[in-house]
Structure 1
Amino acid sequence: MPNLLSMNNLENDTIMSLLKRAGEFQQGERAPIDGTVVNLFFEPSTRTKMSFEMAEHHMGLAVLPFETAFSSILKGETLYDTVKTMEAIGVGAVIIRHEEEEYYQQLEGCKVAVINGGDGSGQHPTQSLLDLMTIYQEFGRIEGIHVTIVGDIAHSRVAKSNASALKKLGAIVSFICPEEWSGDYESSEHLDEFIETTDVVMMLRVQHERHAVSALFSKENYHEQYGLTVAREKKMKDGAIIMHPAPINRGVEIADCLVECERSRIFKQMANGVYIRMAVLEYALKGRD
């Protein structure tokens, strides 16, 4: 059974196959799978965890409950031994969100399928896939589409996953952030220079938990310098859309009134997440691609 760990090791054909399959599920196709999965979430999550659970429900899968606060992790059990336990009792796939980047490296030798629900500041492949699905539905292609990603690039698994996949598929990707947030990516600090020409403005959450308090992170300062303000939205080209992986700091990275404006695809992204995760579960458990 194949794993889904990173967008870096997904071939373009597999990506497009998953998008197509998700579209079929969105159109009402159902393909129940006889199997059991476990969601191992060691970090907080609303959208990823709940949409996986909804996808699992639609696929007819049995889902074993798992709560980290009541598990043997608290007794010192390793992640490897936890996953091997799931494998031994007959679980077919585990969906894991973990604070450690590339946690999956320690799972070598596990036969259960591993789906990465987010690893530290590393990768978030199913978020990238649902973003790609949203862009593809909007424009009918990904090649040549200009996507501007705005926010904490260095710490964002969403940015890294999307940067990899979008570039492989031929999109034009620009990064906007404070210089200290650029990480290994070439970036600009001036969103206004890109706002009139980009097709997709993808805002990222300001990760307050990863940064010391400074003047930059005050709501007003960040919104004025890097946020999608009402004035900036008015300069966006016809047909351009707004995306955000959420959770959203309203009035910080995006003006409150723009979260559900005509250009916004934020809640469509969330809806697409269920269908993408259905396709991913089928891929992991049945090897369909």
Structure 2
Amino acid sequence: MTVTQLKERSMLGLKELDKAEIEGILDRAAHWENHPSKVHSHMAGKFAANMFFENSTRTRFSFEVAEKRLGAEVINFSAAASSVQKGESIYDTVRTLESMGIDVGIIRLKPIGVLAELAEKIKVPLINAGDGNNEHPTQALLDMYTIRKHFGSSLQGLNVSIIGDILHSRVARSNLYGLRKMGANVSFCAPDNMRAMELDAPYIPIEEAIQADVVMMLRVQLERHESGMLNSAESYREQFGMTAERASRMNSHAIIMHPAPVNRNVEIDDELVEHPQSRIFPQMENGVPVRMAVVERALS
């Protein structure tokens, strides 16, 4: 496989993709969602390795279901039970699995920049399942897919507000890059010490943010409370949470989103998680056909 082909099939981030490529993936996801058969032999004989050097339950399961639905053989690798803990480098682990004959590698890791370096050296397509606070492209793709299902195929002119810890959020970054390319207007809302000033998007107050067409809440790491970044879960909810009172003032056509897992009664009140305007569980559901489209693209 040439370097160009590898780059075309890999999915390192949405910053690099154009609108047509994003639309192609979303259209293909719709094909898989509407396909009458649950399991296919489309990728029979192909080996997909899920290499998670950082814990994740939902994303790994979502990829695994997607791979199995495509008929691929799945290898799951978890750093918690691996020799990486004993000092083996991430590169050595990925290179080892490559030499065993995998056809695609799905990777989640903490250090930023490592994935791009791996992509230069590894000769199979790689899919980013979240790297540090850099990008989480498949999450943003499933978010855009969810928005498209509600508002129709064009996202042009839609107002999307992303609320929470922007500074540490790979979800916010991938959504900013992807939604902008699709013609949506993106605004951020965050505490002063959780803003990412290098990102080119306006910061607006919470009362303005909840008037958007799409109100996307981000997960807050409660351990930031210990480091002093977060005063308390209660004060965060009061200032930046999607409370039932705030939800009552949203536009009737608007939707609430969250990448999950949810801290109930912190980012979003318990009663709103499965509210008619909430898309939190449908987002998880949409993750499977979207990841089928991304894995298929890597293996085609």
TM tier, smaller: over 0.9
- Equivalent-residue separation in structure 2 for 1:215 and 1:69 (angstroms): 27
Q: Give the structure 1 partner of residue 255 of structure 2.
A: 241
Deviation at 1:182, TM superposition (A): 1.1
- CA shift for structure 1 position 152: 0.4
Instruction: Look up the match of 1:32.
Output: 42
Mean CA deviation greater in 11-20 or 27-36? 27-36
Evaluate the alpha carbon distance shift between residue 118 and residue 249 of structure 1 in structure 2; reply closer, same or farther with a 3 A threshold. Answer: same
Give 2:210's match in structure 1, choosing from 167, 171, 195: 195
Is 2:19 aligned against 1:12? yes
2 CA distance for matches of 1:209 and 1:10? 34
Name 1:223's counterpart in structure 2: 237
Q: TM-score, normalised by structure 1?
A: 0.94
Q: Secondary structure at the match of 2:223?
A: helix
The one-letter code of the counterpart of 2:16 is: N
* CA pair 51-164 structure 1, distance change in 2 beyond 3 A: same
Equivalent position of 1:75 in the other structure: 86
Q: Structure 2 regions of 5+ residues with no counterpart?
A: 1-5
C-alpha separation between the residues in 2 aligned to 1:215 and 1:131?
A: 27
Structure 1 distance, partners of 2:227, 2:75, is 40
| Distance of 1:216 and 1:76 partners within structure 2 | 33
Q: Give distance in 2, aligned partners of 1:181 and 1:76.
A: 33
Alignment of 1:42-121 (within 5 A): 42-107=53-118, 108-121=120-133
CA deviation map 1:53-85 (0-9, x unaligned): 110110111012323234332332222221111
Identify the range of structure 1 (262-271 vs 136-145) with the bigger mean alpha-carbon deviation. Answer: 136-145
* SS of corresponding position for 1:235: coil
Q: Which of 165, 170, 175 is the aligned partner of 2:183?
A: 170
Residue 278 to residue 215, structure 1, CA distance change in 2 (3 Å): closer
Structure 1: distance between partners of 2:235 and 2:42: 50
The DSSP-based 3-state class of the residue aligned with 1:40 is strand
Q: How far apart, in 2, do the equivalents of 1:67 and 1:215 lie? A: 30
Residue in 1 aligned with 2:273? 259
SS at match of 1:37: strand
Q: 1:277 maps to what in 2?
A: 291
C-alpha displacement at 1:46, in angstroms?
Answer: 1.6
When the two structures are aligned, how many residues end up with a matched partner? 285
Q: For 1:214 and 1:189, how far apart are their aligned partners in 2?
A: 23
Give runs of ≥4 in structure 1 deviating > 6 Å: none
Residues in 2 aligned to 1:70 and 1:89: alpha-carbon distance in whole angstroms: 19
Question: 1:64 and 1:192 mapped to 2: Cα distance?
Answer: 46
Task: Quote the sequence identity (%).
Answer: 48
Question: Using the alignment, how far apart are the partners of 2:170 and 2:277 within structure 1?
Answer: 24
State the Cα distance separating 1:214 from its structure 2 match: 4.3
- Name which of 122, 129, 145 aligns with 2:134: 122
Give, in whole Å, the separation in 2 of the partners of 1:105 and 1:210.
28
Query: Taking structure 2 as the reference length, what is the TM-score of the superposition?
Result: 0.91
Please provide the CA RMSD for this pair: 1.6
Distance in 1 of aligned mates of 2:34 and 2:109: 32
* 1:161 is the counterpart of 2:168: no
| Aligned position for 2:3 | none
The whole-number CA distance in structure 2 between the counterparts of 1:85 and 1:215 is: 39
Structure 1: any 5+ residue segments left out of the alignment? none
